[in-house]
Amino acid sequence: MPSTEQDEAAFNRIILAGLALMGLTGAGAVFILMAQSRGSAPAPQVQPAQPGASPSRPSVFDSARSETELSSQLNARAALGRERTDDPGAASPAPTMGYRPEPAPAAPAVPPPAAERRPAPPPAAPAPAPGPELSRSESAALDQATGGWGDKVAARIGATGPLLVKAVVKVLKYPKVVEVMLGNKLLIDAFMSSSRVQRKCSSPQALADYLSDTKDPVGVKLFQSGFKGAMSSQEGLGAVLGSKLTSTVMQNCSSVGAMVKNPAMVKQIAENNPEALMMLMNPNLILAMTKAPLVMGTIGEFQKTQTGGKR
């Protein structure tokens, strides 16, 4: 075991050199023996050479050796280890001692992508319920009243108030024809999207002004004159009031409900167009209203407002 400070320093350098050689020459076992020899084994003694005996190989633990010799020996061993490592034919070095990283775990198998699932197309909108089937005479009456019934004709009639009134009046005695005509979607869309209807639907005062103006030849006067002679056809009036067009107007024109509840507007109509009030009192029209609850409720409110809350 080193006994002097010089020997202690030399021994420490040997330990450090051994650490450097662990990964190159497999000298880990040598390093452990060196550490054990420092802790328990006595320092080796140099025996005198015997005459005739072969000289012994110098040891790295020989304290009598100079530091330069020890360093040269360690360097030579390191170079020898590198040569063996570089030589493909050389034997593999002894496994180094210490931490060995465990092999990285294999990446989990990625399952193949599932087949692309496309969302099911939305269900098609239900087709409109077919209207009543017309007889040959009813179909002929519809064509005659409209100039040849079809989608384009229906849209044109719906967008033009006078044409619509005249066509309806001509077929009032055919309730099924009225139902087909005023139930056509293109006709309803054209009617509701026209500027004149939109203005009356959005403004109660505009609607009251329309019903009060009897001087406009294509206004309420045209409607009243057309339906005046048809008041005897209860079934025809019921078909008009119960049509899809009438229900669409009652549900989407907020001005109707607001106007009939306004006493000032009701008074304006009564003073300027008393004939309109007389038509509303027609027994056939009242009976026809029973087939149209929306219209019946609105007319009831109108009469209630006109009489100051009394029917």
Tens-of-pLDDT digits for all 311 residues of the chain? 555 566 666 555 655 555 444 444 444 444 444 544 454 444 445 455 555 545 555 554 454 455 566 566 656 665 655 555 555 555 555 444 444 555 666 666 666 565 555 666 666 555 555 568 899 999 999 999 999 999 999 999 999 988 999 999 999 999 999 999 999 999 999 999 999 999 999 999 999 999 999 998 888 988 888 888 778 888 888 999 999 999 999 899 999 989 988 999 989 999 999 998 888 788 888 888 877 777 777 766 766 776 666 55
The answer to the question of residue 173 being in a domain is: yes
Please check whether residue 121 is in contact with residue 109, taking contact to mean a CB–CB distance below 8 angstroms. no
Residue with tokens 């593999």: 92
Residue with tokens 């009701």: 266
pLDDT at position 175: 93
- Which DSSP letter does residue 131 get? -
pLDDT at position 43: 46
The answer to the question of residue 277 being in a domain is: yes
Task: Please tell me the pTM assigned to this model.
Answer: 0.56
pLDDT at position 140: 96
Domain range for 275 is: 134-293
**160 contacts: CB under 8 Å, gap ≥ 6:** none
The answer to the question of residue 80 being in a domain is: no
The answer to the question of residue 90 being in a domain is: no
The answer to the question of residue 122 being in a domain is: no
The answer to the question of residue 219 being in a domain is: yes
pLDDT at position 31: 44
What one-letter code names the amino acid at 120?
A
**61 contacts: CB under 8 Å, gap ≥ 6:** 37, 43, 44
pLDDT at position 67: 56
How many domains does the chain fold into?
Answer: 1
The answer to the question of residue 283 being in a domain is: yes
pLDDT at position 23: 43
Q: Which two tokens stand for residue 204?
A: 């109660």
pLDDT at position 28: 44
The answer to the question of residue 49 being in a domain is: no
pLDDT at position 118: 66
Helices (H), the chain: 5-25, 28-39, 67-86, 136-146, 151-158, 161-170, 175-182, 185-193, 195-202, 204-212, 220-228, 234-241, 244-252, 254-260, 263-272, 274-280, 283-289, 293-306
